Amino acid sequence: MATSLKNLSSYDPAKVPDASGMKFGIVVSEWNEEVTAALAEGAVNTLKKHGCPQQSIFVMPVPGSFELTYGARLIAEKHALDAVIVIGCVVQGETRHFDFICQGVTHGISELNLEYDIPFIFGVLTTENQQQALDRAGGKHGNKGDEAAVTAIKMVGLKK
């Protein structure tokens, strides 16, 4: 979580396993693309930084955050992956739509973690406004995509 005390992009690279033999899926919501594209780029760059070759990273766009769960299941079934990173951004609006989407995606990703024998990493921003999202997509709080990629690598390492 990004706070004034922790940057999402700050971590000790020495504590991250080598990702050269790992395969990752990234499912990214097209909704709020300014934010989600930056998150996906952060995730891809971090995976590559830790040795994962580009050809071992599979990216699948889906229309919105609610579709992330189904997309994550599809990419896991289509490719023999070690982990799936789920990237989206839901910004609080004037209605309760925010609550339902956030709850649905969170529950869906939790279910996938229990159903499949690979980790599904929650890289979905749930912010009060657009500026908070931008601050966590490469802005003053770092990039949640970086954090999600590091988490994915560590979880695969934990499993191995």
- How deeply is 104 buried, as exposed, middle or buried, from its count of CB atoms within 10 A (0-12, 13-18, 19+)? middle
User: Using CA of residue 136, residue 42, residue 74, residue 119, what is the dihedral sign?
Assistant: negative
Distance CA 38, CA 137 (A): 6
Contact 104, 143 (CB under 8 A): no
Distance CA 50, CA 19 (A): 5
Contacts of 105 (CB under 8 A, 6+ apart): 65, 66, 68, 69, 86, 88, 90, 124
Catalytic machinery residues: 97
